[in-house]
């Protein structure tokens, strides 16, 4: 592929190694999530903990959110190279803890450390995109990196299934330890060394504390038995996160961009869309496989691949629209979020009352919605931020997505308990009241569409 000095190509000899490094970092997070979801029943059979499945998910999300929120500050304080190496080491340690866990509490702690490492790696990869590639290539890089998620969608359930079938689920985590070591070595060799910015090395303790409290309460809402307690935890968690946003705006040491809650800015609108879209769709990833297995007597592997249609649609559409000119970005954002809204409404019916094919197609539409708009939302969020906040804006993209996923999954857990799905999914109940579980989040997709319509005019 040829290029000119004014318009470099993504696969130029100078840029290709950087792109490969980013793909490896994204792979660690994407594949880990899908492989772990596949092997969890085997984990519980060996070391117990069926009743604490939610905590293993909540711990990973907690670590990812905290690390993602701090990664921009970490890259400023340590430099991108040192911060990324530290994140890779943390991920390797967490995987080793999970692989060696003699009981479920240690396993959950390992998942927490894995989340810290994985969240930081992904967020720092986004920072690296803006640091290592010219702005004209950002949409192409984001679209191409999305292909890694697609590859993980295809390979993750297969890899996890093979390890589970062999009775060696611990081997899956050792595999990720080895890949993390390769990632750390590659970062040490390929990324340039940077000077530390000692003047900005203060930890934003108040915002971080409020974020931890808020996310903890939201995660707790998904696992407590009482519906009233779950709702109370979710509401208090949202209050805690709102307090974090307020504190973030009033200080010089910020975890997120100052305009994250300002809906008059492109950064604020873009991050709202990301949060609302993820929160609206995450319930299908959390409960979709259980409904598919209960209603269609499908194997876990089959249910995983049907649910993976969301990631497949995201990947294909992201690759197709990656080269759109800036003048068409507004249309892509509106079309993508509108497509996602249609997919959420259709999926709420299909997963509870439709056929297996209809469910897969509906999930595919959701993924297409994400793929059509996500790269352009990302570029607008980052480009609209002041130059001194672009590192924070870059890390805010995956952080806000994780926060949306945590809030949405916790709320879905509370709704599932309220509807009687707290101990399993019965086909009759899935048909009768299941649409309420997923349809309750359609208004979030509608909010995202209204914000996208406004952002598309800019």
The per-residue pLDDT for range 437-452, each reduced to its tens digit, is 899 999 999 999 999 9
pLDDT(241) > 60: yes
Cα(412)–Cα(431) distance, rounded to whole angstroms?
17
Q: Among 271, 163, 219, which residue's Cα sits nearest to residue 406? A: 219
CA 241-242-247 angle, 5° bins: 95
Question: For residue 255, what are its two tokens?
Answer: 């975890």
Cα(57)–Cα(250) distance, rounded to whole angstroms?
32
Q: Among 435, 324, 405, 431, which residue's Cα sits nearest to residue 115? A: 405
Residues 166 and 23 placed together within one structural domain of the fold? yes
The reply to whether 309 falls in a domain is: yes
pLDDT in tens, 54-69: 577 777 877 887 787 6
Question: For residue 401, what are its two tokens?
Answer: 């997505």
- Domain CATH number, residue 52: 1.20.1250.20
Residues 189 and 325 placed together within one structural domain of the fold? no
**Do the Cβ atoms of 126 and 394 come closer than 8 Å?**
yes
Cα(238)–Cα(244) distance, rounded to whole angstroms?
10
Residues 375 and 407 placed together within one structural domain of the fold? yes
Task: Scan for tokens 């959110």, then name that residue.
Answer: 65
The reply to whether 144 falls in a domain is: no
Residues 245 and 193 placed together within one structural domain of the fold? no
13 compared with 85, residue with greater pLDDT: 85
**Do the Cβ atoms of 11 and 1 come closer than 8 Å?**
yes
**Do the Cβ atoms of 305 and 161 come closer than 8 Å?**
no
Highest-scoring range by mean pLDDT, 18-27, 28-37, 95-104, 253-262: 95-104
Exposure on the CB side of residue 241, measured as CA atoms within 13 A: 24
The reply to whether 199 falls in a domain is: yes
Which of the four pLDDT bands, split at 50, 70 and 90, describes residue 1? very low
Residues 216 and 241 placed together within one structural domain of the fold? yes
pLDDT in tens, 160-199: 777 877 888 899 899 999 999 999 998 888 776 665 554 4
The reply to whether 2 falls in a domain is: no
SS3 337: helix
Per DSSP, 52 falls in state G
Of 170, 185, 203, the position where a domain reaches its end is 203
**Do the Cβ atoms of 304 and 289 come closer than 8 Å?**
yes
Residues 134 and 225 placed together within one structural domain of the fold? no
Cα(35)–Cα(157) distance, rounded to whole angstroms?
6
Q: What is the pLDDT of residue 9?
A: 58
Exposure on the CB side of residue 221, measured as CA atoms within 13 A: 28
Residues 56 and 81 placed together within one structural domain of the fold? yes
Q: For residue 169, what are the contacts with CB-CB under 8 A and spacing of at least 6?
A: 39, 42, 43, 46, 163
Question: For residue 51, what are its two tokens?
Answer: 């009743």
Residues 407 and 292 placed together within one structural domain of the fold? yes
Residues 190 and 245 placed together within one structural domain of the fold? no
Whether the pTM exceeds 0.85: the reply is no
Domain that holds residue 164: 11-138+149-203
The reply to whether 86 falls in a domain is: yes
Q: What is the pLDDT of residue 3?
A: 47
The reply to whether 367 falls in a domain is: yes
The reply to whether 143 falls in a domain is: no
Residues 172 and 237 placed together within one structural domain of the fold? no
Residues 412 and 451 placed together within one structural domain of the fold? yes
SS3 255: coil
Which of the four pLDDT bands, split at 50, 70 and 90, describes residue 50? low
pLDDT in tens, 83-128: 889 999 999 999 999 999 998 889 889 989 999 999 888 878 877 7
The reply to whether 3 falls in a domain is: no
Count structural domains, the chain: 2
With 0-12 / 13-18 / 19 or more C-beta atoms within 10 angstroms meaning exposed / middle / buried, residue 398 is: buried
Average pLDDT, the chain: 81
Residues 453 and 324 placed together within one structural domain of the fold? yes
């Amino acid at each position: 592929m040829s290029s000119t000095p004014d318009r470099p190509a993504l696969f130029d000899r100078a840029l290709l190694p950087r792109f490969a490094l980013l793909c490896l970092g994204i792979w660690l997070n994407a594949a880990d999530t899908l492989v772990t979801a596949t092997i969890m029943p085997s984990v519980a059979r060996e070391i117990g903990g069926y009743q604490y499945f939610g905590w293993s998910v909540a711990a990973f999300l907690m670590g990812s959110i905290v690390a993602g929120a701090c990664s921009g500050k970490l890259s400023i304080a340590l430099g991108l190279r040192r911060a990324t190496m530290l994140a890779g080491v943390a991920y390797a340690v967490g995987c080793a803890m999970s692989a060696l866990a003699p009981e479920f509490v240690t396993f959950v702690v390992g998942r927490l450390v894995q989340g810290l490492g994985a969240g930081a790696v992904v967020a720092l990869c986004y920072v690296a995109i803006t640091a290592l590639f010219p702005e004209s290539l950002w949409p192409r890089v984001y679209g191409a990196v999305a292909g890694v998620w697609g590859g993980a969608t295809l390979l993750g359930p297969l890899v996890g299934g093979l390890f589970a079938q062999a009775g060696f689920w611990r081997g899956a985590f050792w595999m990720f330890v080895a890949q993390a070591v390769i990632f750390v070595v590659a970062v040490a060799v390929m990324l340039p060394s940077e000077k530390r910015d000692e003047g900005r090395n203060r930890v934003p303790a108040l915002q971080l504390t409020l974020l931890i409290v808020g996310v903890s309460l939201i995660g707790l809402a998904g696992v407590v038995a009482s519906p009233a307690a779950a709702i109370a935890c979710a509401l208090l968690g949202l209050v805690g996160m709102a307090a974090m946003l307020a504190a973030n705006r009033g200080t010089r040491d910020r975890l997120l961009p100052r305009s994250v809650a300002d809906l008059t800015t492109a950064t604020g609108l873009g991050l709202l869309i990301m949060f609302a879209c993820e929160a609206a769709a995450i319930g299908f990833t959390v409960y979709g496989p259980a409904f598919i297995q209960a209603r269609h007597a499908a194997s876990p592997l089959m249910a995983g691949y049907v649910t993976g249609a969301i990631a497949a649609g995201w990947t294909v559409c992201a690759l197709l629209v990656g080269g759109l000119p800036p003048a068409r970005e507004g249309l892509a954002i509106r079309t993508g979020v509108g497509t996602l809204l249609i997919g959420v409404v259709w999926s709420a019916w299909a997963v509870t009352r439709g056929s297996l094919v209809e469910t897969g197609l509906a999930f595919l539409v959701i993924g297409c919605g994400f793929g059509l708009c996500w790269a352009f939302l990302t570029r607008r969020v980052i480009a609209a931020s002041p130059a001194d906040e672009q590192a924070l804006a870059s890390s805010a993209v995956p952080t806000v997505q994780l926060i949306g996923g945590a809030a949405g999954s916790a709320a879905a857990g509370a709704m599932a308990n309220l509807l009687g799905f707290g101990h399993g999914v019965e086909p009759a109940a899935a048909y009768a009241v299941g649409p309420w579980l997923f349809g309750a989040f359609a208004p979030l997709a509608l909010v995202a569409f209204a914000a996208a319509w406004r952002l598309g005019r800019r």
